[in-house]
Amino acid sequence: METAQQLDKPSLGNNDAAKDKAINERDAMTQDTPYPDQTVGQPFVDNPKMRLRDVEVFYADNQAIHGVSLDIGKNEVVSLIGPSGCGKSTFLRCLNRMNDTIDICRVKGDLHLEGQDLYDPKLDVVELRARVGMVFQKPNPFPKSIYDNVAYGPRIHGLANKKYDLDEIVENSLRKAGLWDEVKDRLHASGTGLSGGQQQRLCIARTIAVSPEVVLMDEPCSALDPIATAKIEELISELSESYTIAIVTHSMQQAARVSHRTAYFHLGRLVEMNDTETVFTKPEHDLTEAYITGRFG
């Protein structure tokens, strides 16, 4: 849907010459630069955590993702970058089947998590989402206490039988999310009373409380100030020791700081994927270069 709207959006205001020019330039770039038949760079790794091949996503009749293939390695942070509406969030949401909740959305392709087909009709989506957790763009704590927020996942999955076990899970998760010291004295205060950055860390704690294998993050810092962002980025680096992380971001600096490998999406296609350093210093494809140098986006 996002993609369709972005594509159909007419250029605004005829008097805005500078903007027009930029749009024309971008269109020229898009038309002149052919898409690669295959993704350039090295999208595949040995022994991946997630193996994704020929992923296509349709919103009704609009194709939002065109044949994207890539691997996400174990304990790796992969960042997905690209201009608005390029389909990176849509792609991310395929990885724990959050797109199932949208009626008109269809997903095709082979998506595997350690040999398990994600779209196997026999696979229970509840089980999948316990293995692949997600952190959203806007902090969305439940309007419950901090403790209940973190304890919710373990409770519904029956991960802790005793109050003592649950307390331990909550404390560990909050510690890992770097929030424990700030909230340990008010665990039963409402989660919505925290600051934006704290809320987002609470959401991360909530996600890792069910010990997922993969954590998906959809622009987790876009609603936060630079200090809160720095904390989350630090946290992502620490978390990568125990979890595999895929993060969608609009900030190229952020992608450069936190991720091991970077994938550049453009209009629903995966243009280039490589080591983060390579992508930002020696991009192979012209579109990638144009984007990271800020010529459009």
Partner 1 sequence: MSETTEKVRKTLARRYRAEKRFKAFGIGSIGIGLMALVLLFTDIIGKGHSAFFEYEVQLPITFDAEVLDVSDPRDEDELNYGNYQGVIRDALAERFPTVEGRQDTRALNQLVSTGAGYALRDMLREDPSLLGETRTLWLLADDDVDLFLKASEKQREDSRLNTKQQQWVAELEASGETRMVFNQSLFSYGDSREPEQAGILGAILGSLFTMIVTLVLSFPVGVAAAIYLEEFAPKNKFTDFIEVNINNLAAVPSIIFGLLGLAVIIGLFGLPRSVPLVGGIVLTLMTLPTIIISSRAAIKAVPPSIRQAAMGLGASKMQVVLHHVLPLALPGMLTGAIIGMAQALGETAPLLMIGMVAFIVDLPAGPLDAATVLPVQIYLWADSPEQSFEALASAAIMVLLAFLITMNTLAVVLRKRLERRW
> What does the per-residue mask of binding to partner 1 show for 191-220, with x meaning CB under 8 A?
-x----------x--xx--x----------
Among 70, 81, 94, 134, binds partner 1 (CB under 8 A): 134
Q: Does 15 bind partner 1 (CB under 8 A)?
A: no
Q: Does 152 bind partner 1 (CB under 8 A)?
A: yes
Q: Does 180 bind partner 1 (CB under 8 A)?
A: no
Vertex 178 angle, CA 174 and 179, to 5°: 55
Q: Does 69 bind partner 1 (CB under 8 A)?
A: no
Q: Does 285 bind partner 1 (CB under 8 A)?
A: no
Q: Does 141 bind partner 1 (CB under 8 A)?
A: yes
Among 78, 98, 239, 273, binds partner 1 (CB under 8 A): 98
Task: DSSP for the chain, please give it.
Answer: -HHHHHHHPPPP-TT-HHHHHHHHHHHHHHHHSPPPSS-EE----SS-SEEEEEEEEEETTEEEEEEEEEEE-TT-EEEEE-STTSSHHHHHHHTTTGGGGSTTEEEEEEEEETTEETT-TTS-HHHHHHHEEEE-SS----SSBHHHHHHHHHHHHT--SSHHHHHHHHHHHHHHTT-HHHHGGGTTSBGGGS-HHHHHHHHHHHHHTT--SEEEEESTTTTS-HHHHHHHHHHHHHHTTTSEEEEE-S-HHHHHHH-SEEEEEETTEEEEEEEHHHHHHS-SSHHHHHHHTTS--
- Closest CB 228 distance from partner 1, rounded Å: 18
Counting residues that bind partner 1 (by CB under 8 A) gives 27
- Closest CB 200 distance from partner 1, rounded Å: 12
> What does the per-residue mask of binding to partner 1 show for 102-131, with x meaning CB under 8 A?
-x----------------------xxxxx-
Q: Does 66 bind partner 1 (CB under 8 A)?
A: no
> Given the complex with partner 1, which of 186 and 295 has the nearer CB atom?
186
- Closest CB 5 distance from partner 1, rounded Å: 17
β-sheet bridge partners, residue 40: 272
- Closest CB 156 distance from partner 1, rounded Å: 5
* Residues of this chain that bind partner 1 (CB under 8 A): 96, 98, 101, 103, 126-130, 133-136, 138, 140-143, 152-153, 156-157, 192, 203, 206-207, 210
